[in-house]
Chain A
Amino acid sequence: MPTVLFTSALQRFLPVPSAQVTGGTIAEALAAVFGSEPRLRGYVLDDQGALRRHVAIYVNGRPVSDRARLTDAVAKDDEIYVFQALSGG
């Protein structure tokens, strides 16, 4: 099963432990995580279900290509890393 890991910056707002999930795409893997923590969805995705503009998802160190529908395929040993770029002062 792929593993989903979240930036520690999200831990300030809600519990986001790493999780092994079922799913063949990014969207399916995230849906499995949101099932156990529904609030998390709004932190990662916008109202239309697209990845938030300043949130990134990498799979095994490479950025996903479909940020709108999250259709990139994932395999059972993949690591899906959800993070952001902190900025400002």
Chain B
Amino acid sequence: MTERLHIGTHKGLFELARHNGVWDIADVQFLGDPVSAVLAVTDGIVYAALDLGHFGAKLWRRNRTGNWRELPVPAFPPKPEDAGDDPHPWSLGKIWALEPGGVPGRVWAGTMPGGLFRTDDGGESWSLNEALWHLPERRQWFGVAGGEQPGINSVLIDPRNPSDIRIGVSCAGLWASTDTGATWQIINHGMYNEYMPPERREDPIVQDIHLLSRCAARPEIVWCQHHNGVFRSENAGANWHELTAIRPSKFGFAVAAHPRDPDTAWFVPAIKDERRVPVDGKVVVARTRDGGRSFEVLKNGLPQRHAYDLVWRHALAVNETGELLAFGSTSGGLWISENGGDSWTMPEARLPPIAAVRFAPALH
């Protein structure tokens, strides 16, 4: 079977394939256009979200025969007169997260300015999750560096129950629904946000979640790279404890949970937080295999001198095996590991800044 890897960059979508043990670029799409999210599902179907600065967010899908076609984008309804004090625009900024919904044809899209959308027909039509959008608390959500609007960066679907959803928001904490999005509650406790005024630091709704990742085999295990550190939950995101053993630093954007082993996860730390480059100019991956009690610093094959690569939140991925990983950087660096991160190789390519890295699932 040929493994496939999709890389969304500031100037196009790159597909890599492995032949005879060597990864190489097999296809280039949307050259010159910023890709904000990518999702590969079964049968070779790929969704790519574009962020065309002047002309708005766009969405394309590659079908089973390999042809790309533009789809309708999620759209916000007309803004009612009495919503004049809503601090956030009722217009799609960008598609930031695309996740399969656990039933055929269903995909969830997390967006800026904080709207969650769903399709049940493979992207031919989208509907705004009105329950979340109309929550009074949504007006407390706020944007962060990298986006002036709040954004839904994580959508976690319980593999055992597609009606059970968790979303992570920058900045608005973790919201949960157990009824396919009909009702929502904010559930995260145990996180803290250092840059907030002291009386608000532990407030669930101000938590700056950079990314959530859950163990597919044990969905109650969720990992979080937060603005202020890394956290782990053993009850599907309700209660969190900080993993202070992370090294070489606790700041970062990306996290990947092992799909089967609930004690293993990977992070890509950087200097916290105004100077967002790797510690000492060395690109490393932090891996825990004991639930976060200790971390290994993985660097075999990664640049260890004058490397200033930052890894964004959607630019680290692991496939179903838990052994095949990839991550990409703002400098266009791309590294792939076939052994759970023990060693890394770099394909022969100098890519644009990388926003998203996704493996295609194994063909069924």
Q: Which residues on A are within 8 Å of B, measured CB to CB?
A: 9-10, 13-14, 39, 42-44, 46-48, 50, 52, 54-55, 84-88
Q: Which B residues between 60 and 76 are near A, CB-CB below 8 angstroms?
A: 70, 73, 75-76
* 10 CB-based A-B contacts, threshold 8 Å: A13-B55, A42-B75, A47-B75, A50-B91, A52-B54, A55-B54, A55-B55, A84-B54, A85-B54, A87-B53
The verdict on B347 contacting chain A, using a C-beta distance below 8 Å, is no
Most buried by A among B52, B55, B73, B79: B55
Question: Would you give the shortest CB distance from A48 to chain B, in whole angstroms?
Answer: 6
* Distance, CA A69 to CA B215, complexed state (A): 48
* Distance, CA A40 to CA B29, complexed state (A): 21
Most buried by B among A13, A47, A87: A47
* Distance, CA A85 to CA B53, complexed state (A): 10
Total A-B pairs in contact (CB under 8 Å)?
Answer: 45
* Distance, CA A33 to CA B70, complexed state (A): 19
Given A39-B70, A42-B73, A47-B75: A84 and B90 interface contact (C-beta under 8 Å): no
Residues of A contacting B56 with CB < 8 Å? Answer: 42-43, 46, 52
Residues of A contacting B91 with CB < 8 Å? Answer: 46-48, 50
Residues of A contacting B76 with CB < 8 Å? Answer: 47-48
The verdict on B198 contacting chain A, using a C-beta distance below 8 Å, is no
Chain B interface mostly helix, strand, loop or mixed?
A: loop
Residues of B contacting A43 with CB < 8 Å? Answer: 52, 55-56
Residues of B contacting A86 with CB < 8 Å? Answer: 54
* Distance, CA A86 to CA B55, complexed state (A): 11
Q: Please give me the residue from chain A that is nearest to B34 by CB atom.
A: A88
Question: Would you give the shortest CB distance from A25 to chain B, in whole angstroms?
Answer: 19
The verdict on B92 contacting chain A, using a C-beta distance below 8 Å, is yes
* Distance, CA A24 to CA B139, complexed state (A): 38
